[in-house]
Amino acid sequence: MTNLLKGLAWPARHDGTLLPVTQGVLALLGSGEIAPSMTKVHRQLLRRLDDVRAVSLDTPYGFQANVPQMTEKIAEYFATSLNVAIKSLRYEAFERTSEVERAVFRQELQAANYVFSGPGSPSYAVAQWAQIDLQNDLRTTLVNGGVLCFASAAALTLGALTVPVYEIYKVGTKPTWIPGLDVLAAAGINGAIIPHYDNAEGGNYDTRYCYLGESRLLELERQLPDGIGILGVDEHTAAVIDLEAHTLSVLGKGGVYWRLLGSTRTFTNGSTIDLEEIKSFQPAPQAPTARDRAPNDIASLAEAARRGGDEAVDAIARLVRMAAAGGDGYIDPSNLVTNLLDLRVKARANRDFALADDLRDALVGADIDVMDGPDGTTWNVR
């Protein structure tokens, strides 16, 4: 993780000193990028500008077959709902554009003062944008007092780290982070951005937190480097960060959340808070769990298993994992697993099905497959 945040630089003067960010506005939309619920947000942002020069970036959906239709839909929304002519800057893929085309794209972006980007894939967008150092152009927009309005997938890219949502949710990739553009650092916030925070499309399964669900979000939080939190934005909600006023305002229908080390600070709809409330947030101390306090040496684990009680199954699972892993502390799993299966048989005979299930779950969780058949129970290490 330590290499993920290298190579990002703020816009600088010719003498090398950093340009201060004093006037710009960074708006993060949790979803509904061109929905009626966000029209008021766009209008408020546009009113900040005397001479609107609006552009939209097609890169996040540049891999899709319907790029022209998506671009037309965005342009139509801005024209009919906001009475603003927005120019689409075409940069679908680095390898499909020439050096001149990329230069034109950046020049037109630098001339704009209202930059919008929305749906698509955050990992795809980051991969394309990082090759032309787009983060510096976006930061310069803020330095010059412009507005960055990034929604949905595009909003994900602006944190220090980015979630590859498609790969995790659709493909089954192990939850992990990829480097983000870190434009959020303009506000002094060291964090990742999670839109669609309150998503409920799954119905009977958890799709909160941008389709990740709670278990995968917790896994991602455990991987975060020290000091990096998560800024969550509900659907049909905007977190509007005014860099000159040093505030964050919550507009729309839902809330905004700052998560750090297992604690969450909630900012309700309609509220405006000083950014210092995020930067100085101190999470509540977390009490160690029974699993955290559990011993790790073989003798202590064996004694915990012998005593029984609530920690016995956890101790047994740790012993089985040591047996399966090999290396230092390796123990032969055969007798251990056989004895556990004997205990399971006795538990089932005594109709203590809860204990029987706990024993099986401990083995399965330790990568031991248990197969019940007509000739008895067999097992093997995965």
pLDDT of residue 10: 43
pLDDT of residue 91: 96
Whose CA is closest to 31, among 196, 169, 203? Answer: 196
Place of tokens 């919008």: 116
pLDDT of residue 43: 95
pLDDT of residue 342: 79
Q: Looking at domain 25-279, does it have CATH number 3.40.50.880?
A: yes
pLDDT of residue 240: 98
Greatest Cα-to-Cα distance within the chain, rounded to the nearest angstrom:
81
**Predicted model pTM:** 0.72
Q: CA of 79: how far to CAs of 41, 72, 87, 284, in Å?
A: 15, 10, 11, 47
pLDDT of residue 92: 96
For helices 312-325 and 298-307, the axis angle rounded to 10 degrees is 140
**pLDDT per 10-residue tile (average), the chain, 382 residues:** 39 45 85 78 94 97 95 95 96 96 96 96 97 94 96 96 94 94 95 96 92 93 93 97 96 95 93 95 69 58 68 72 58 70 81 79 73 75 66
Distance separating alpha carbons of residues 168 and 194, to the nearest angstrom: 14
Give the Cβ contact number of residue 234 at 10 Å: 23
Consecutive H or E run containing 4: none
Distance separating alpha carbons of residues 367 and 370, to the nearest angstrom: 10
Residue spans of the domains in the chain: they are 25-279, 290-381
Whose CA is closest to 251, among 32, 40, 33, 48? Answer: 40
